[in-house]
Amino acid sequence: MPFDLNCPVCLQPLQGDLKHLECPEHHSYDAAKQGYWNLLLANQKRSKDPGDNAEMVQARGQFLSLGYYQQLAQTIALRLTERATAHAAPRIVDMGCGEGYYTQQMQQQLQQNISDYQLAGLDISKHAIKAACRHNKDVTWMVASGARMPIADASIDLMTVLFSRLMPDEFSRTLKPGAELLIAYPGDDHLIELRTLIYTEVRHSGFTPESVLGEAFEARQTETIRYTFTLTNQSQINALLAMTPHGWRITQAARERLAALQQLELTLDVCLARFRRA
């Protein structure tokens, strides 16, 4: 079922069909030819091309297509679906969805288990959303800002924020009381072997979602998803480097250390935390 959207200008409900939407104040929007909605207003852009650029989107898509994060994506999709069954006709948003690798697997899991749901993937990067559109037509994809979503107050049952920025004020506005927020973020040992090769001193981010989310959200449960996988050639190592911020900060000496490797065993260590909107 298509996801009900609101006007990014006046936040009133949008009505129409899969090609065109309009609000009561006659702000109108045409679907892009690929089928997504561009609901990012010019005054919400801090740069000409906000969010992940075309190269970042391409690099992430290339690495994810190798399948090493499939087990992670499946676990996230299962957990989301378990939570979704607790709500009638749940409305679900994947905020900062990128090119939709996780969103797509959520949609497949939901479809197998729930007859009536609405699922939207939202990202500020049009490159990411264009790529997402190609993979799955059963998600409502939109280019929009997570800091002001084209979504009615207290209308969301579940939101996922996977490796993306937390924006607690806007999440509080759009989530229903009692709604749930699922957050994925790197654990201390995530890609530790790669970080050890790149940095002389490996640091922990110290990030905790609690400290960012504040009192509107109650921590419910944190699960660690941890396994090892092995990259088996230089092309795979380069695909990972192009995707992670560690790869963007690499020195020439570290690049040479990595170039000498035939394979690289890595730890995936991801925290999946569930919060409840108070």
DSSP-assigned letters across all residues of 32-95: PTTS-EE---GGG-SSSS-SS-HHHHHHHHHHHTTSTTHHHHHHHHHHHHHHHTTSSS-EEEEE
d(CA 230, CA 266): 6
CB closer to Zn ion, 27 vs 176: 27
Binding at 9: pick from Zn ion, ligand SAM, none (beta carbon under 5-8 Å per type): Zn ion
CB closer to ligand SAM, 119 vs 124: 124
Which of the stretches 4-12, 153-161, 165-173, 261-269 binds Zn ion when contact is defined by CB under 5 A?
Answer: 4-12
Q: Which two tokens stand for residue 140?
A: 């409502």
Residue ranges that bind ligand SAM, judged by CB under 6 A: 51-52, 60, 96-98, 101-102, 123-125, 128, 145-147, 162-165
Binding at 130: pick from ligand SAM, Zn ion, none (beta carbon under 5-8 Å per type): none
Judge whether 273 and 162 are in contact, CB under 8 Å. Answer: no
Q: Which residue is nearest to Zn ion (CB)?
A: 7
**Which residue reads 């088996």 in tokens?**
232
d(CA 80, CA 111): 12
CB closer to ligand SAM, 165 vs 257: 165
Which of the stretches 18-26, 79-87, 205-213, 237-245 binds Zn ion when contact is defined by CB under 5 A?
Answer: 18-26
Phi, psi at residue 25, to the nearest 5°?
-90, 10
Closest contact distance (angstroms) between CB of 101 and ligand SAM is 5
CB closer to Zn ion, 43 vs 200: 43
Binding at 22: pick from Zn ion, ligand SAM, none (beta carbon under 5-8 Å per type): none
Closest contact distance (angstroms) between CB of 118 and ligand SAM is 19
Closest contact distance (angstroms) between CB of 205 and ligand SAM is 13
Beta-carbon contacts of residue 164 (< 8 Å; ≥ 6 apart): 95, 96, 98, 146
Judge whether 107 and 74 are in contact, CB under 8 Å. Answer: no
CA within 13 Å, CB half, 163: 21
Q: Is 23 in the site for Zn ion (CB under 5 A)?
A: yes
Alpha helix ranges (H) inside 100-214: 101-113, 126-135, 168-174, 192-198, 209-213
Closest contact distance (angstroms) between CB of 17 and ligand SAM is 26
Q: Which residues bind Zn ion (CB under 5 A)?
A: 7, 9-10, 23, 25, 27
